[in-house]
Amino acid sequence: MRVDVAALVQNARSRGEATAAGSMGFWLKREQKRLGVSDAALTELRTPMPAQPRYVLGTKPSAGKTVKGWNHILPVDVIERHFEGL
């Protein structure tokens, strides 16, 4: 499976949504091999990502975990992929 990463990166940059860029980068990094995502594309997504860690997907301060490299604090279930049945 492949995705049009260039289009995703362009979309994130054009919207100026740092949180969306960081979330997309986190997910693409996690699925990098499966989706054929280049390191260069991930590097491009780091430019518009948040400068400071942000709570994402309704994460509560006591129930989140920081995703290093993407400045996101996500629910533990998302990071550990419990919702995917893995």
- pLDDT means per 10 residues in the chain (86 residues)? 78 79 84 87 80 82 83 80 58
At 66, is the secondary structure helix, strand, or coil?
A: strand
Tokens of 9: 């990166």
What pLDDT, on a 0 to 100 scale, did the predictor assign at position 81?
67
Total domains in the fold of the chain: 1
Query: pTM of the full predicted structure?
Result: 0.75
Which domain range does residue 55 map to? Answer: 5-84
At 24, is the secondary structure helix, strand, or coil?
A: helix
Rounded distance between C-alpha atoms, residue 48 and residue 16, angstroms: 7
- Asked whether the beta carbons of 46 and 63 are under 8 A apart, the reply is no
What pLDDT, on a 0 to 100 scale, did the predictor assign at position 80?
77
